[in-house]
Amino acid sequence: MRDASPRRLKITLIGAGSTVFTRNLLGDMLSHPELAGAEIALHDIDEHRLRLSEKVAYRIADAVGAKPVITASTDRRRALDGARFVLNTIQVGGYKPATVTDFDIPKKYGLEQTIGDTLGIGGIMRGLRTIPVQLAMLRDMDELCAPGAVHLNYVNPMAMITWALNRASTRVPTVGLCHSVQHTAQELANDLGLPVDEIQYHCAGINHMSFYLRFERNGEDLYPKLRDIQREGRMPAWNRVRYEMLRQLGHFPTESSEHFAEYVPWFIKQGREELLRKFNIPLDEYPGRCQVFEHAWPYIERELEVPGSQDPAALLAQLRAADIHVMQREIEGAPQMLEGLRSVKRSVEYGSAIIHSIVTGQPRVINGNVLNHQLIDNLPQGCAIEVPCLVDHNGVQPTRVGKLPVHLAALMRTNVNVQEMVVESVLEQRRDHVYHAAMLDPHTAATLDLDQIRAMVDELLAAHRPFLPEYLHG
C-alpha cells in the first residue's frame, strides 16, 4: 500500500533530454515561489542529454533562488512514481532516421512537405510511432502517479495524441499544450504596432487550425486593420499564407504559414513553383530547422556547461557557411538561443501556469487541447479540440464555445477525418486505416493517386518498422 502521508509536490519531465525546451519549462516553474521547493524528476532515454539537463536544472534553481529536489533517471517508472504533474516532450525516432524518412520517401512520389509533424503523411507516420509509446507511458501513469495527476502533453501530432490518450485512460487526463495561440497573438500585435497585453481574443477550433473568433483592443474590433494589412500587402513575407486565409475565410488561423500550407490542398502543388514563390512557402522547413539545431548544438552544449563562453556571432557565421536550405529567419534567429540561455525569463508556455493554478487556486485562462464533449457543436463529439479553459484548484476546465462559423468547422473536419483514422488505427490495431488516413489527407489526396498513396504508405511502414507496433509490420 502506498504511503498516505503528505509528500513533496512532484513534477516529472519525460523527454527531459530536449535540453533547451526543458530549460525553459524549468525556468517557468521554479520562478514561482509556490513551486520552487517541488521535486523535479527528469527522465530521458539518452543518458548524456539527461545529465546535461540535470546540470542545467541545478543552475536554473540557483539563478532563481529555488530549492527543489532534483532527480534524473533513465528509469521511467521511477520518474513517474508519485508524480502529480507529468510534462511530456518526447520525439520517437528523432530527427534521424525518422523525420528524414518522413520527408525523403514521400518526395520520391512527388509529395512535398514543410513541417510534417501534425497532419499530412509526416504527421500520420509520427502519430503511428508516438501514440503506442505514449500509451505505454500512460499505463505507468495510471499505476504510479499521485491521485489527481495530470499529463501535460507538448508532443505532436497534438490532436491525434490527445484524442487517443484520453480515450485510453480513465484516471490520468491528458491536456495538450501548444504555443501557437499566444505566439500568433504576439505576431499580430507586432503587425498592428500594438502591445500584446492590450489585446483580448477568443480563439477556438482544433490544434494548429484554431481561428480567432474575436480579436480586439478595448472593445475595438481589430480585424478591419488586419484586413488593411492584407489588402495593402504589408504582412511579413513569411506570413502570406495566413493572411490569404484571412482574405478567403474572414478569420485568422493560429498556426504558422509554413504549417498551415500543408493542412490544405491549395498551396503546395506539383509543377506549381509560382505558388511557392507567391506565398513564400519553405519546403522542407522542419528538416532544415533540425539541421540548424544540429550545427548549433555544440555551441549550445558548451554554453549550457560554461555560461557566457560562446559567441553568437561565431555561431551565425558558422550557420551561414553551412549548406542549409531553410528560411533565412531560422538561421538569423539561431544565435538568440545562446542569448536566451544566459538569463531566466518566464516564457509564454502554459505548462507552469497550469501547475501553479492547480496548486494555488489562482485562476487563469489557457487554450488547451481536450476532447469535444458538448463544447463545439459542429465538430464531431469526442474528437480533440482546442478551446479556452479555466484553470484553478478544480483542474483544467474547458469552456463551451457553441457553434463555430460553418465554413471554419467544415475546413477543420477535413483534418479531423485524418486524425480519427490514425487514432482508430492505433487503438483498434487496423493497418488498413493508415491507408484511409493518407487517402483522406487534403494535401496528399490533392497530389497523389490511390496507387501512389498505397505504395508510399507501404514503403514508409517498412522503413519505420523498428519504431512501429507489430500490427503495422505487414
Q: Is 290 assigned a ligand-binding role in the annotation?
A: no
Mean pLDDT of the chain: 95
Mean pLDDT of 66-87: 98
pLDDT classification of 335: cutoffs 50, 70, 90: confident
Number of residues in the chain? 474
pLDDT at 313 over 80: yes
Q: How far apart are the first and last CA of the chain?
A: 43
pLDDT classification of 5: cutoffs 50, 70, 90: very low
Q: Is 156 assigned a ligand-binding role in the annotation?
A: yes
- The pLDDT, as a whole number, for residue 198 is 97
User: What is the reported pTM?
Assistant: 0.95
Q: Under the phi-then-psi rule, with left for phi > 0, alpha for psi from -120 to 50, and beta for the rest, what region is 213?
A: alpha
Mean pLDDT of 423-437: 98
Q: What domains lie within the chain, and their CATH numbers?
A: 10-93+115-176 (3.40.50.720), 285-340 (no CATH)
Catalytic residue among 32, 48, 151, 179: 179
pLDDT classification of 321: cutoffs 50, 70, 90: confident
pLDDT at 408 over 50: yes
- Three cell numbers at 413? 473536419
pLDDT classification of 343: cutoffs 50, 70, 90: confident
The CB density around residue 161, as the number of other CB atoms within 10 Å, is 29
More confident residue, 196 or 6: 196
- The pLDDT, as a whole number, for residue 165 is 98
Q: Is 88 assigned a ligand-binding role in the annotation?
A: no
The CB density around residue 155, as the number of other CB atoms within 10 Å, is 24
The CB density around residue 224, as the number of other CB atoms within 10 Å, is 8
Q: Under the phi-then-psi rule, with left for phi > 0, alpha for psi from -120 to 50, and beta for the rest, what region is 220?
A: beta
Q: Is 179 a catalytic residue?
A: yes
pLDDT in tens, 108-148: 999 999 999 999 999 999 999 999 999 999 999 999 999 99
CB 320 within 8 A of CB 330: no
- The pLDDT, as a whole number, for residue 2 is 43
- The pLDDT, as a whole number, for residue 6 is 58
pLDDT in tens, 24-43: 999 999 999 999 999 999 99
- What residue type is assigned to position 453 of the chain? I
- The pLDDT, as a whole number, for residue 4 is 44
In angstroms, the CA 370 to CA 398 distance is: 7
In angstroms, the CA 133 to CA 127 distance is: 10
pLDDT at 72 over 50: yes
